[in-house]
Amino acid sequence: MEAFASDNLLALIDLAGLKDRLFARRGGRMGSIGEKRVREDEGGVGSEKEKRSVTETACSDLTDSVGDGAGVVMKALSRAERERRITDAIQTVLECLEEDPSREGLRKTPSRYAKALMDFTDGYRTNLREVVGDAEFEESHSEIVFLSNVEVHSLCEHHMVPFHGKCHIAYIPNGKVIGLSKLARITELFSRRLQIQERLTREIAEAVQEAIDPLGVAVFMEASHMCMVMRGVKKTSAKTVTMSMIGCFKNEDHRRSEFMNLVKGASK
């Protein structure tokens, strides 16, 4: 199984078109790895220890290069090709779990999961400008705008299991308002990525600020994390609360109090 995994990972690196980039990035050091791989293919490097060494070093260099290597390559791939690669990877996962991917109940699971995962992470493939569009309007309204109980579903980046809950979003216009549905779509944009709740809360607030430059933005989020419910401490009733305040909500006590009172009312 270890030899199978090693060969598969090296093949995946080759398929991703990263091998040459990684060799160049390491200024020749990776060249020795490539030579070892050739010798292995020719029968010159046969031990499992050497195969693991090749794989581990390649993994390390691949991790180091994600910012300017893997991401660039993946963006160039079609959705169908990405789904195919995820499907192959999930087939391997099932095998590592000592399951039989060919049995009836699992036969289509890898492809189903691939499609679902691409949907869960669709936020990587769109941006704020596309989401907001032309839904910005000149308006003299100067009091709080508050949208409550916006559902949130995301994947924790630490375990890739869901967390879900609700958030409340408020802003004070500065001569411009945004379509209410766009606040929900902004939440969706950032929640459909691998996330932690703290960052997700901040990104929603910063996106509203960027979109219409209001006098202030406040976001309150409460969520339940499956990584705490299904595994680890297994605390089924635990909830995590995060907040992000910008502008007048951060600097003016009465605005913060106004927002929190609205949150309390919406949470009853």
- Active-site positions read 156-159, 197, 225, 227
Tokens of 29: 């050091």
Contact in structure between 209 and 145 (CB atoms under 8 Å):
no
Handedness of CA 73, 74, 76, 77 (dihedral sign): positive
Give the Cα-Cα-Cα angle 37, 40, 42 (nearest 5 degrees): 115
Query: Going by C-beta distance under 8 Å and a sequence separation of 6 or more, which residues neighbour residue 150?
Result: 166, 167, 168, 169, 183, 184, 187
Contact in structure between 205 and 199 (CB atoms under 8 Å):
no
How many whole angstroms from its chain centre is CA 161? 11
